[in-house]
């Protein structure tokens, strides 16, 4: 008897589990979701490490010969590296310094042997480039793996930062329109109609035409400012529903301000929608960044992203150098985006209050 009471009391103390606990429990039961979570986590870990400069810091170094082939292919004919002049043949006729004694006229003659020795040492370091790299090299002999990690850093950073901006704008504007109604709603609905009447990609291009300064921040701002409409729509509908609920009236009765009611009382009740949409937007913006960077409206030339890698890879494919294309398009981007999409699907199902 006391044991039962004890258990009941413990249950009572812990309260009923909230939506996040239920969602987490459901997510843990979904094997696909857990694998996706691990994959996304690994990607994010790699990106954080590269942002901190712990890995892939030297991605810009020309560690290999031009178009170094991947190690697993072994040595293949690399005409590009040869024609790039990696090896200049030695002069056939050795110049023997003893034949003509120039000591009397040449002021450098005394130090000549030393100069030659130094030049030789320097040459050997310059020519010391790898013929093969773990996953090959690009035109300048940069390691594709390091480059892909660095590219992931730009693409994913843009995806996340832009998604946060878009979700923030959408949530605040949606909350204002749905909660206040009346003229605030009318005004924001008008802005929404204006933004959605222009096809999204065209709107992005129009912004890109105006903001010519290429940089991560520009891309993030363009995507963020043009991408808030979907979240706005959903959040506005939710706030319309919640604004007249009893708990909001109760909050009003105890003197909570409008701001408090909107963002302290209602916001937690719609946060699951925000999370799912954030996740959807990250995927969309990563794809958009790749296209923008490919077109040259994205990250600046001194940086790399999956989009700029694809742009380089386009011409490399014709001369048979497929590894940069494979690394950027399939091994990194497709894996991350697939994992992220599957995780988003699972998250949406787990957070859906209708599916109990």
Given the rule CB under 8 A, which residues bind another protein? 190-191, 193-199, 201-203, 205-212, 283, 287, 290-291, 294-297, 306-307, 310, 313-314, 317-318, 325, 329-330, 333-338, 341-342, 345
| Tokens encoding 244 | 């007249």
C-alpha R_g of the chain:
30
Least separation in angstroms between CB 149 and another protein: 18
Least separation in angstroms between CB 20 and another protein: 25
168 versus 325: smaller Cβ distance to another protein: 325
124 versus 212: smaller Cβ distance to another protein: 212
CB-based burial label for 197 (10 Å; 0-12, 13-18, 19+): exposed
Least separation in angstroms between CB 172 and another protein: 19
Least separation in angstroms between CB 159 and another protein: 13
70 bridge partner residues: 133
156 versus 290: smaller Cβ distance to another protein: 290
Instruction: Name which of 149, 166, 161, 158 is nearest 48 in CA terms.
Output: 149
**Under DSSP, is residue 203 helix (H, G, I), strand (E, B) or coil?**
helix
Least separation in angstroms between CB 192 and another protein: 10
**Under DSSP, is residue 163 helix (H, G, I), strand (E, B) or coil?**
helix
83 versus 197: smaller Cβ distance to another protein: 197
Asked if 293 and 299 count as a contact pair (C-beta separation under 8 A), the reply is: yes
**Under DSSP, is residue 16 helix (H, G, I), strand (E, B) or coil?**
coil
207 versus 263: smaller Cβ distance to another protein: 207
């Amino acid at each position: 008897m006391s044991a039962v009471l004890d258990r009941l009391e413990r249950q009572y103390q812990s309260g009923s589990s909230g939506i996040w606990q239920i969602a987490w429990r459901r997510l843990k039961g979904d094997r696909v979701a857990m694998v996706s979570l691990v994959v996304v986590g690994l990607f994010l870990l790699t990106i954080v490490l590269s942002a901190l400069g712990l890995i892939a810091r030297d991605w810009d170094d020309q560690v290999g010969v031009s178009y170094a082939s991947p190690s697993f292919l072994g040595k293949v004919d690399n005409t590009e590296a040869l024609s790039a002049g990696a090896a200049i043949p030695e002069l056939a006729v050795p110049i023997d310094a003893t034949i003509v004694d120039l000591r009397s006229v040449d002021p450098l003659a005394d130090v000549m042997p030393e100069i030659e020795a130094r030049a030789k040492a320097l040459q050997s370091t310059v020519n010391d480039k790898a013929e093969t790299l773990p996953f090959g090299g690009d035109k300048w002999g940069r390691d594709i793996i390091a480059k892909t990690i660095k590219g992931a850093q730009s693409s994913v950073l843009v995806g996340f930062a832009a998604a946060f901006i878009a979700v923030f704008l959408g949530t605040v504007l949606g909350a204002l329109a749905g909660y206040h109604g009346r003229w605030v709603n009318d005004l924001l609905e008008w802005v929404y109609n204006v933004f959605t009447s222009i096809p999204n990609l065209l709107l992005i291009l129009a912004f890109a035409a105006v903001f010519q300064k290429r940089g991560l921040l520009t891309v993030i701002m363009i995507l963020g400012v043009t991408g808030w409409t979907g979240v706005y729509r959903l959040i506005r509908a939710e706030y319309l529903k919640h604004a007249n609920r009893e708990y909001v009236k109760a909050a009003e009765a105890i003197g909570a301000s409008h701001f408090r009611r909107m963002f302290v009382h209602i916001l937690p009740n719609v946060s699951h929608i925000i999370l799912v949409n954030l996740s959807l937007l990250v995927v969309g913006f990563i794809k958009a960044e790749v296209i923008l960077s490919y077109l040259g409206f994205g990250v600046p030339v001194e940086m790399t992203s999956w989009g700029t890698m694809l742009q380089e890879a386009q011409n490399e494919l014709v001369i048979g150098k497929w590894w940069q294309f494979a690394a950027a398009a399939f091994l990194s981007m497709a894996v991350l985006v697939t994992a992220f999409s599957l995780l988003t699907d699972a998250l949406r199902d787990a957070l859906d209050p209708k599916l109990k």
